[in-house]
Amino acid sequence: MKLNKLGATVALLTAATAALALPSFLTDFKKLASPKAGTALAKESCGICHNGMKIKEFNPYGADLKKEMDAAKTKKITPEILAKIANKDSDGDGVKNGDEIKAGTLPGDKNSK
């Protein structure tokens, strides 16, 4: 019984640590972008900027966003940075990033437009 409690405690602490380690990028992005409820953009998490759960790999939108953040020497997503890439078509699907965000589609996924 003690082993089960220990295992549960370790699992809980591991999950809590992982949650605390996540950057505020997703929260900041969703606050600034205000995606429409129920859209692909509102439902997505890390895949807005990353290739699925491969956090070290950026999709085209994430790469453009990172490039602008690096140029601004900031680790925060700002309205100005989003505006700089709003007229780009990062994923090459023929729809500008800003228009995809307004529509609730994913600007880093060419199949989402």
Looking at residue 1, its pLDDT comes to: 46
For 3-26, what is each residue's pLDDT tens digit? 456 555 545 444 443 443 356 889
Cα(85)–Cα(64) distance, integer angstroms: 7
What is the pLDDT, as a whole number, of residue 23? 63
33 to each of 29, 64, 74, 83, 89, how far by Cα in Å? 6, 16, 18, 11, 16
pLDDT < 50: residue spans in the chain: 1, 3, 10, 12-21
DSSP 56-90: EEE-HHHHHHHHHHHHTT-SS--HHHHHHHHT--T
